[in-house]
Amino acid sequence: MTPPSDAPERVSRALDTLQIELPSWGFSDTGTRFGKFLQPAAAATIDEKLGDAAEVHRLTGCCPTVAVHVLWDFPGGIASVDGVLQLAARAGVRIGSINPNLFEDQQYKHGSLANPDAEVRRAALAHLLDCVEIATRTGSRDISVWLADGSNYPGTAHIRRRRAWIEEALVEAHRRLARGQRLLVEYKPFEPAFYHTDVADWGMALLLARAAGPQARVLVDTGHHYQAQNIEQIVAWLLDEGMLGGFHFNDRRYADDDLTLGSIDPYQTFRIFHEIALFTAEHGAPADLAWMIDQSHNLKGKIEAMIQTVAIAQELAAKAALVDSQQLLEYQSRLALVEAEETLRRAFLTDVLPWLRDWRRRHGLPEDPLVAFRESGYLERITRERSGRRKAASSYA
């Protein structure tokens, strides 16, 4: 089975429309629950994070926005917005999705929006509404809500009441949305709550999004599922319902490992891209989705891992664009099982790198962004600068 004759055009169209948001926290020091692993070049300030993100965008050409975490990136809250916008403009990127922090404060030990204490719930809602206001001031479309709320032991939480409290808060946040903004409801089956998590799967997120209002959607994190769960089926159903808002892309071996996209199961990511491409082919217009990376580069270099991830995402999206959807539908209709599966498999096995390199050349980008980064001297420069600043700060302390 040879690639379609218009393969270069298909790949080019797929890449032209693929914009991937980078997470500010992906450039910072991270670790496991047992400890943080420090890297001398890791970003410590929002200025450094935006600068590193801009370098990834310069080399890949598809990452113009940076997702920010309010608690970590706006040290002065709403008062910090103008300063952060100036830093982003200077770096050459834009502020993307706004991510509330409803899990780190000590008062959230027993939950945030679902906390039995009404005072804590009010504080959590106030933070969420501040995030909506920040999104309005930064011109951001999406406010992504992930809750660590849940319980660890049977009988210790009123599950239905907690759902009602979350729904009430999301409805109030939805009322504050500006025209064109969206509230994205994320889900996760476990961790840190191990008996029950208040928003544990896509069905719960879907019900909460619908209750919140017409500008709410579901956000799918590819690591937030049980082992062997069919994520592309979830994607297909949410697309069909018009309720898929976007993704947090990563990969995993066991649970929410936040590994580099495609490092463990690139075929799964390809299948997700295929479901979206098939939806586009059948509806004549692409689904309005937010593509974002959410990974924890504990051991890999931060910027290298981000460039690697973006390049893999481009490659897998290009492969998905090569699937002959009409041929596939024909095979499916006459139950030609082997032929249908081979239609997918052959596209996945196609070497798209020559077309990807050609696309990069035409857009004035390096053919191999990872090699270009290593040759740029950027890593050596920021390592010197940031190591020096940290040594000075340590000496002063």
Query: Residue 287: is its pLDDT beyond 50?
Result: yes
Residue 388 has pLDDT above 80, yes or no: no
Amino acid found at 291: W
Select the more confidently predicted residue: 396 or 172. Answer: 172
pLDDT at position 337 = 98
* Structure confidence by residue, pLDDT tens digits, 207-232: 999 999 999 999 999 999 999 999 99
Which pLDDT tens digit goes with each residue over 142-183? 999 999 999 999 999 999 999 999 999 999 999 999 999 999
List, in order, residues 6 or more apart from 349 with CB less than 8 Å away.
Answer: none
Through-space distance between the first and last CA atoms of the chain, rounded to whole angstroms: 65
CA distance 72 to 134: 14
Domains and CATH numbers, the chain: 18-396 (3.20.20.150)
Give pLDDT, residue 392. 57
Q: Provide the residue type at 10 as one letter.
A: R
pLDDT at 389: 75
- pLDDT-derived band of residue 391, with 50, 70 and 90 as boundaries? low
Per the CB < 8 A criterion, the answer to whether 233 and 276 are in contact is: no
Question: Is residue 1 over pLDDT 70?
Answer: no
Q: What is the pLDDT of residue 36?
A: 87
In the prediction, which pLDDT does 395 show? 45
Q: Is the pLDDT of residue 324 over 60?
A: yes
103-132 pLDDT, tens digit each? 999 999 999 999 999 999 999 999 999 999
Over 50: is that where the pLDDT of 22 sits?
Answer: yes
pLDDT band at 396 (very low <50, low <70, confident <90, very high): very low
pLDDT at 393: 53
- Express each pLDDT in 226-281 by its tens digit: 999 999 999 999 999 999 999 999 999 999 999 999 999 999 999 999 999 999 99
Helix, strand, coil percentages in the chain from 3-state DSSP, rounded to 5: 50, 15, 35
Confidence at residue 4, expressed as pLDDT on a 0 to 100 scale = 86
Average pLDDT over all residues of the chain = 95
- 372 pLDDT tier (thresholds 50, 70, 90): very high
Asked whether 147 and 113 are in contact (CB, 8 A), the reply is yes
- Helix (H, G, I), strand (E, B), or coil: what is residue 92? coil
Q: Are 298 and 37 in contact (CB under 8 A)?
A: yes
